Chain A
Amino acid sequence: MTEPVVLPAVLDLRAAGALTSEFLARRGQPLTVDASGVERLGGLSLQVLLSAAKTWAADGMDLTVAPVSEAFVEQCRAFGAAALAPDFAGDPA
């Protein structure tokens, strides 16, 4: 199993580019994304995560987002992207 991608605390405009490269470098293998340290999720980084999820699904590879921080779940939900953090989906903060 490969090392998880650890998301930084602040996922803003600046993080989106770096995140894209990091995911691309891991393509073709099952991946775990550690979102436990996320404090702030911005729209563009959210898009990178969604694109990664799409890409991994198309490749037939597993992509798991876990563990997740409460802030991450809350913000995913506010974005209407609760599916990104399924573990917390039924467990409102």
Chain B
Amino acid sequence: MDTFEAIKATFFQECDELLADLETKLLDLESGAADDETINAVFRAVHSVKGGAGAFGLEALVRFAHVFETLLDELRAGRKPCDELTVRTLLRASDVLADHVAAAQGTGPEVEEARSAALVAELEVLTHGEGGSPAPDEAEDDFGFQPVAFDLPSLDLPSLDLPSPDAPGAPAAGGWRIVFRPHGRMYVNANETGLLLRELGRLGPLEVELDDSAVPMLDRLQPEENELVWTIRLTAPVDEAAVREVFDFVEGDCDLRIEPIAGEGPELPPLIETPDAPADDIDISALLAKVQDEPAAAVTPAAPATSAPAAAAPAASATAPTASSPPAAAAPATIRVDLERVDRLINVVGELVIQQAMLAQRVTESGLARSSGISVGLEDLELLTREIQDSVMAIRAQPVKSVFQRMPRLVREVAEMTGKRVRLVTEGEATEVDKTVVERLAEPITHMLRNAIDHGLETPEERTAAGKPSEGTVRLAALHRSGRIVIEISDDGRGINRERVRGIAVSKGLIAEDAALTDDEIDNLIFLPGFSTADAVSDISGRGVGMDVVRRSIQSLGGRISISSNPGKGSTFTLSLPLTLAVLDGMALGAAEQTLVAPLSAIVESLTPKAEDVHYVGGHDAVIRFREAFVPLVDVARTMGFRDAPVPPGQGVAVVVETESGARAALMVDAIHGQRQVVIKSLETNYQQVEGVAAATILGDGRVALILDVDALVANARRRPAAADLKLAS
């Protein structure tokens, strides 16, 4: 059923967000950056996953989430301490929960029963204490309600202990009357009244009254609309916020009224009949509870009757939202859009840019004066087009957070495997970059993080011996720098062992034994193909992938990678990538009647060499002197096969470029046409891969221009091992 599948797909999308939020909040708890609201948010995330999963009958997921949620409920009520061990277990539980979600979605393997069960056992020990038995019957049936009492025998100490320290709204002495009418949409959004009632039942004894008077006869019934109204009496002196929280996720999808029962409110609802429940006993005992509780709560919020554990003690209850204002009201207005539609829009805008450039060219060719109405209008159009293009690109821009937030788990797992203690610090998660770039960042970052922990960090013992804290720190940061995104991965480990790297490079024949290399050059040897050695390949960072592969995947994105290392202090890998793969700032170059585009980011400068500046090595390899060094001269038209004869000496322009690996060369062309922004058209998708060409674009005159793959072009022309530059001191 299409609608159902669509709802399910939405559920999984939401799961992704919830799981990400869950992990973020748990990490806050771990780092001590949490506030009172954190544990509530954690609870809500797990609870929502469970709720949706229940609606779709995902039993394994529901069962696991249930146990997880039960512990969280204890924690948020302050009945269990939220200590370091607990948080670590919660983090691992969030990993397993994510695996369950992936398995349910079909994007991951089935979760190993033993692994899930082991964690369930751990969670239950934390919930019920060692040897404690779990609450009966709960986990078996996701919709199996706790038998909620109609009489109120259970209004004894446990429920009086409930005023949760996390929510500062005034507890109502006699409890709360909740009038609840779900909208049909609430069910469509995978929420269920039964679950809400059960959640309410957790707060205290319930009396549930169902008003079905508005339900029409069957022939007029809209099965997806709801006419039922529930009036619920919750007889526990809990805060209003705690009650509202139950309805957090259905707000907007229901009519909801929450009023204190004990007559503090000015009037009772006219709509609702007062149920003839034996209310007297409750009110008195609850009132007593309130009288005892309230002054204490008002003066020292940290001293409710229960032994509040340090971690869960509310440090500043004043910062919590006021009880009457429903939370989550200020959620940003967003819509979900099929990515295909966005891509189509981007393509169309790309065409628009090209069309606009063509139009401009035609106008210029027609010889109209620059001050003519058409020319002026065209300039405005150009500005507008540029603005549209920027706006469309902004739609596709995504914070790198989606990649970064997968990393804490990886770090935990690698740390566990290597027996190292690692703290991951992330910075700049909000840094935005084009979606296509974000997607392709995950793999190199993953590999480099593994590498940093496995090879970079020392064992706790080694660290202690070296006078460092036993826990190593790995920092993952993103920032914008001169129109590119920069990702830094640094560790405070041992740094690169240059002796060893050099030794390996020599033994592999990558460098000559007597090669004089700077520290930087030695560090960069690890990126050479064939450097990765058998003894460097371990379970964790090995996986048959060397740093050369990482570098290649970065380069295929138009990026570059570099490393700096400080022995004993750690290493930093720096990736720098273009913000988008859809447009490129380039320099249009002319070579043998053809127009070519070189990425602006690769160009260092241009010069017009005189005949005597060009030298030949070995009779044919031309080099040109450039700032105290000689760089190879690449005749573009010849290399690309446009013509056989080289540019005659003393003519043409040399454009000095720097490859992603830092090597320089001079591209010899006939002329420079000027800088322009071009829309990238993939050559692979539309034709096939061509050596030396990264992609194509369409120019203002409608002709196709090739975008040069500077790296390949230079490497091709040099035909030398990619070691160091030719450094010929003059």
User: Could you tell me which A residues sit within 8 Å of B by CB distance?
Assistant: 10, 12-14, 16-17, 19-20, 23-24, 27, 39-44, 46-48, 50-52, 54-55, 58, 71, 74-75, 77-81, 92-93
Contacts and interface: CB of A to CB of B under 8 A. Distances in A.
Contact of A47 (B142, B201, B209, B228): B228
A19 B223 CA distance: 9
B223 A71 contact: no
B658 interface: no
A24 B230 contact: no
Nearest to B197: A78
A78 B148 contact: yes
A75 B216 contact: no
Contacts of A19: 223
Contact of B217 (A55, A74, A75, A78): A55
Nearest to A20: B223
Nearest to B56: A12
A48 B284 CA distance: 40
A80 B230 contact: yes
B147 A74 contact: yes
Contact of A42 (B144, B187, B201): B187
6 A-B pairs with least C-beta separation:
A80-B208, A80-B210, A43-B193, A78-B145, A16-B223, A55-B218
B182 interface: yes
A40 B227 CA distance: 20
Nearest to A45: B223
Interface in B191-208: 192-194, 197-198, 201, 208
Contacts of B208: 78-80
A86 B198 CA distance: 22
Contacts of B4: 14
Contacts of A39: 141, 143
B51 to A, nearest CB: 12
Nearest to B218: A55
B305 interface: no
B187 A50 contact: no
A17 B223 contact: yes
A79 B217 contact: no
B217 A54 contact: yes
A78 to B, nearest CB: 4
A5 to B, nearest CB: 12
Nearest to A14: B4
B141 A71 contact: yes
B182 A43 contact: yes
Contacts of A42: 55, 143, 187, 192-194
Interface string B1-36: 100100000000000000000000000000000000
Given A13-B188, A51-B221, A58-B217, 16 more contacts: A13-B224, A14-B1, A27-B218, A41-B143, A43-B182, A43-B194, A44-B224, A46-B228, A47-B227, A48-B221, A54-B218, A78-B201, A78-B208, A79-B194, A79-B197, A81-B210
B204 to A, nearest CB: 15
Interface residues of B, number: 37
A34 B450 CA distance: 58
Interface in B140-165: 141-145, 147-148
A23 B219 CA distance: 10
A50 B227 CA distance: 11
B184 interface: yes
B141 A40 contact: yes
Contact of A75 (B57, B143, B221): B143
B520 interface: no
Contacts of B219: 24, 27, 55
Nearest to B192: A42
A12 B51 CA distance: 13
B707 to A, nearest CB: 52
Contacts of A55: 217-219
B215 interface: yes
Given A23-B218, A42-B187, A43-B193, A13 B55 contact: yes
A32 to B, nearest CB: 16
Nearest to B230: A80
A43 B218 contact: no
Contact of A24 (B215, B218, B226): B218
Given A13-B55, A46-B228, A47-B228, A54 B141 contact: no
11 contacts: A17-B223, A17-B224, A20-B223, A23-B218, A39-B141, A41-B143, A43-B182, A48-B218, A50-B212, A74-B145, A93-B147
B179 to A, nearest CB: 12
Nearest to A76: B210
Nearest to B143: A40
A23 B218 CA distance: 8
B216 to A, nearest CB: 7
Given A39-B141, A40-B143, A58-B217, A48 B194 contact: no
Interface string B217-256: 1110101101110100000000000000000000000000
A69 to B, nearest CB: 11
A58 B219 CA distance: 12
A41 B210 CA distance: 15
A78 B230 contact: no
A13 B253 CA distance: 15
B141 A51 contact: no
A79 B221 CA distance: 19
Contact of B187 (A13, A20, A54, A74): A13
A24 B188 CA distance: 23
Contacts of B226: 43-44, 47
B196 to A, nearest CB: 9
A44 B143 CA distance: 14
B8 to A, nearest CB: 11
Given A14-B1, A43-B182, A44-B223, A51 B218 contact: yes
A55 B217 CA distance: 5
A44 B184 contact: yes
Contacts of B187: 13, 42-44
Interface in B105-163: 141-145, 147-148
A43 B224 CA distance: 10
B216 A51 contact: yes
Given A43-B193, A44-B226, A54-B215, A79 B188 contact: no
A24 B227 CA distance: 19
A73 to B, nearest CB: 11
Contacts of B230: 79-80
Contacts of A13: 55, 187-188, 224
